[in-house]
Structure 1
Amino acid sequence: MPEHPVSDLAHAFGLVDIAEKSLSPWSPVYRARVIPRGHTEARDVVVKKTAEARERAEGMAAWTRMLMANGFPVVAPIGLDAPNPQAIGEDWYVVYPFIEGRPYAAGDDVAALGDLLGRLHATQVRTGIVGGLRTYSWPEATRDDVDADLAAFREQLPRVLGAEDAAKSLAALHSLADRWWDHSLPALRAADDEHALPYASVTSDYKAANVIFSASGPTVVDPDNGGWEPRLFDLAMAVVLLHNESPSAPARMMTAQEWNDFYSSYARHISLTSTERKLWPAALDHMAWEEGTWALEDNEDAAYADARQGGYLRDLATMPMERFQLPAA
């Protein structure tokens, strides 16, 4: 995979050792060892691509360091004699500490993931830090784009799901597309125009695969898509993507009970406003269309044939958003 030879990464960051093979099939993420600034012994680290430009890479570093200083468990760039993060060619890379731990187990850990997300959304972020984060961008899609996506699904889903399951999923997707375009998206945009959607710092990729569970609890290990966005959207995105690309997760989305456990823990830190509660179904539609359909389209046929990832995709394809109701206030 490497977009840059690992020898370039070793030289740039002063690494004493680096693995040749990426830890991730989707992006360059390498185990390595380095001597931190002010230390004499090497420690285990991870080298990975981060944000795409200097402003965002440095903003991400400032944000994760602030989170860590405030007691939120997240990886942050370690101090090196070399710049960290830094550009290597046209790409920006960062060195994080390697977190030893175990992967997610739904029955034991789903409440802890809800608690962690609530803590993140509740963390106060200084204005100077917010300015370095990516801001939310509303989709620029037209109705023709929506219809083109539906046409692509009519070709894809019978092949990967079979005719009977595909028919059910296509009906759900057509219904979702109409709701999202006609009602949910306009309602959310109107609320944002009225400054009625509270914003928070988010990873914008909150899923089980991006959290490691150690003896001290869960730690976010992939914060590099972080931004400043409506917290309601990040909560809804977690519903849609929590079990995506997560080898240790069940072969499905969350159950209603798991969602209840997740949200109950989240709500210890965040009380949604009355407007947010009213717009929750719209937020679910928004993330189901924006992120859920992306996951369905992005996965190749082999992923649908995989017992774990394929089970998740088959559940997602039915768009079971009614499963994820908010408990009574």
Structure 2
Amino acid sequence: MSGMNVLKQFGFHTEEEPVSIYPFSPVYRVRGVEKELIVKKTQHPIEQALRLMKYTATLKENGINIVTPTKLTMANPQTIGDHTYVVYPFIEGLTYSGKEKEIIEAGELLGKIHALSHTENIFELEEYNVFDFNVEEVTESVKKIEVNASPYPFKIDNGRLKEKLLQFVAQQEELQNCGLTYITTPHDFKANNLIYTPKPYLIDPDNAAWIPRIFDLALALLLFHNELTTAPDTPFTPEEWRLFLQGYKKSVKLTDMEIVYWKKAVEHVFLDEVMWLMADVEEDWANPSQRILFEGLIEIVLDSSSYCLED
């Protein structure tokens, strides 16, 4: 489905094929009657999208700065071709730059979102169930990482990385069955999805899911600085992570079980969210900033002892 046809279905007309403002998925910035808007893919099929919108509306009603669908004269969201699209308001503000205040406020926002979760999946969001990594997949991914890194001055001990990742594969069943606390969450809490207005405002909630709480927190630890030019090139430092938790813990008290399994949760999320990024997104390696981030992520997953949940 062309971008022109997608925009037309929502009542926006353009003489030329629109250019996405995001390289990995169609995200179009358009001019509405009164303000600028964003048209993007959301969850599919439409029934799932509507459950997502009910969830985000509830967050907004409870004081969370989060985008919800713009009121239009036609359905929003709606299915167009093989995908479902939604129109959100374009949020004006500043992007994250790594200031201490920004880190604390981001942690506060995620904590408030987690604290609002019901103990049951009342919005029927998709349940996280990625516990099927295998030895062959990890072995192939490490080979791809080695190939991707080879043209650059990148420090990596592939043997040690492979050994570690294979250990993580063996932990999956334990993590799946240990009784971790699940929550509803937008599950893509990264700096590139926040606009400071001046408080942080979440602009991309479309990956919302029912997921172990510490998996969502581990994603923030590992990839908060990913894909944002105004963010530092490195992952959170241990001190920055403590600042993030300072904000987060204003609303959330983690369980003893979560504290015990935190290290394994970080390792599992590396398998799920970072391994494929390093293995399959070859073009990222041409970016020096991304290579610096990858080096830092490998260091964390090889030794995460400086990134605890407790002071």
When normalised by structure 1's length, the TM-score is 0.86
* 2:174 counterpart of 1:187: yes
In 2, the alpha carbon distance for the partners of 1:135 and 1:105 equals 32
* Residues 228-275 of structure 1, C-alpha deviations (whole Å, 9 max, x = no match): 111110001111111111111111100000000001111111111001
* Residues 195-248 of structure 1, C-alpha deviations (whole Å, 9 max, x = no match): x21111122211100111113x11110111111111110001111111111111
- Residue 188 of structure 1: CA displacement? 0.8
Q: Counting helix residues as a fraction of each chain, which structure ranks higher? A: 1
Name 1:242's counterpart in structure 2: 224
Three-state SS of the structure 2 residue aligned to 1:130 is coil
In 1, the alpha carbon distance for the partners of 2:288 and 2:141 equals 25
Distance 1:315 1:223, change over 3 A: same
Q: Which runs of 5+ in 1 are unaligned?
A: 36-41
In 2, the alpha carbon distance for the partners of 1:105 and 1:272 equals 28
The number of equivalent residue pairs is 307
1:40-79 mapped onto 2 (5 Å cutoff):
42-79=34-71
- Residue 96 of structure 1: CA displacement? 0.4
Letter in 2 for 1:204: H
Which of residues 289, 304, 311 is equivalent to 1:308? 289
In 2, the alpha carbon distance for the partners of 1:91 and 1:249 equals 31
In 2, the alpha carbon distance for the partners of 1:262 and 1:152 equals 33
Kept in 2, the 8 Å contact 1:14–1:34? The answer is: no
Which of residues 256, 259, 262 is equivalent to 1:274? 256
* Residues 8-36 of structure 1, C-alpha deviations (whole Å, 9 max, x = no match): 2332112367992221111111111234x
* 2:241 counterpart of 1:259: yes
Which of residues 177, 190, 214 is equivalent to 2:165? 177
Distance 1:281 1:14, change over 3 A: same
Cα RMSD after superposing both structures: 2.1
Name 1:230's counterpart in structure 2: 212
Could you list the structure 1 runs, at least 4 aligned residues long, displaced by more than 4 angstroms after superposition.
16-19, 125-129
Name 1:166's counterpart in structure 2: 156
Name 1:32's counterpart in structure 2: 30
Distance 1:283 1:128, change over 3 A: closer
Distance 1:24 1:90, change over 3 A: same
Three-state SS of the structure 2 residue aligned to 1:159 is coil
Name 1:147's counterpart in structure 2: 139
1:77-226 mapped onto 2 (5 Å cutoff):
77-108=69-100, 109-125=102-118, 129-131=122-124, 133-162=125-154, 165-167=155-157, 170-182=158-170, 184-191=171-178, 196-215=179-198, 217-226=199-208
Distance 1:219 1:281, change over 3 A: same
Q: Which runs of 5+ in 2 are unaligned?
A: none
Kept in 2, the 8 Å contact 1:158–1:166? The answer is: no
Kept in 1, the 8 Å contact 2:121–2:183? The answer is: no
Deviates more, 1:10-19 or 1:228-237: 10-19
Kept in 1, the 8 Å contact 2:185–2:208? The answer is: yes
- Residue 99 of structure 1: CA displacement? 0.3
Kept in 2, the 8 Å contact 1:44–1:97? The answer is: yes
Distance 1:53 1:161, change over 3 A: farther
Three-state SS of the structure 2 residue aligned to 1:87 is strand
* 2:9 counterpart of 1:12: yes
Three-state SS of the structure 2 residue aligned to 1:47 is strand
Kept in 2, the 8 Å contact 1:179–1:285? The answer is: no
Three-state SS of the structure 1 residue aligned to 2:151 is helix
Distance 1:202 1:125, change over 3 A: same
Distance 1:123 1:155, change over 3 A: same
In 2, the alpha carbon distance for the partners of 1:157 and 1:10 equals 39
Kept in 2, the 8 Å contact 1:16–1:33? The answer is: no
* 2:290 counterpart of 1:317: no
Identity of aligned residues (%): 31
Letter in 2 for 1:122: A
- Residue 293 of structure 1: CA displacement? 0.9
Letter in 2 for 1:107: K
- Residue 190 of structure 1: CA displacement? 2.4
Distance 1:305 1:9, change over 3 A: closer
Distance 1:34 1:101, change over 3 A: same
Deviates more, 1:220-229 or 1:60-69: 60-69
